[in-house]
Amino acid sequence: MIGNKKDLIYYIQQDRKMNGYPAKRRFNEVIKSLFFPSAVTYLRYLRKLEYYTNVPSLTGKFMRVYYDYKIRISARKLGYYIGINSCGSGLSLPHYGTVIISAEARLGKNCRVHVCVNIGRSAGGKKAPQIGDNVYIGPSCVLFGDIKIASNVTIGANATVNKSVEQEHVIIAGTPAKIIKTDYPSWIEFNKE
């Protein structure tokens, strides 16, 4: 969770790195982001909204309203809805499209979330998935309910995950999702990033 300015800078840098952008923004990227928001622009707005929500100040209230407005505009264009304070640093969003992550869900650092993913509460429940570090979530996955996913897990495309997975370095897939392969490297190790 972002608690100070140093954390904010770290989160933004890690998000840029995991999405394939350099650590510093270039001028042409700033101009382009005004008209055509990217995943990195959305994540920067999200991190600043988290910062101004978590660190109370008089100017923070105005900045929180400003970044809430900016994130809503970007979300409409890109198709993302990510609850504040739900994702660790280094969140990777490689494609535009519907990505819904509930504010009650928790994703660890360096997670990769593909298009058409829905992570949230089950009907009538109050808890959402708790996901570890370095987790790869393939396209069109649905994760719901009071479940825990261990670190370094790969979730295959179109999986429906409604039960906890405590074992690390596995691939889970299917509906309902089951372990189909063990001793598998995390997506970062596999891609050598």
For 106-117, what is the mean pLDDT? Answer: 96
State the fold for domain 80-193.
Answer: UDP N-Acetylglucosamine Acyltransferase; domain 1 (2.160.10)
pLDDT band, residue 25 (cuts 50/70/90): low
Model pTM? 0.90
The reported pLDDT for the residue numbered 28 is: 67
Query: CA 7 to CA 69: how far, in whole Å?
Result: 22
Residue 193 scores a pLDDT above 60: no
Token pair in block for residue 66: 């400003």
CA distances from 96 to 134, 138, 184 (A): 20, 14, 27
- Give 26-48 pLDDT, tens digit per residue: 666 666 666 667 888 899 999 99
Instruction: Give per-residue pLDDT as tens, 46-63.
Output: 999 999 999 988 888 899
Could you state, in order of their start, the residue ranges of all structural domains in the chain?
Answer: 1-78, 80-193
CB 92 within 8 A of CB 18: yes
Task: Please state, in angstroms and rounded to a whole number, the distance separating the CA atoms of residues 32 and 23.
Answer: 17
DSSP string over 77-145: HH-EEE-TT-B-SS-B--S-S-EEE-TT-EE-TT-EE-TTEEEEPPTT-S---EE-SS-EE-TT-EEES
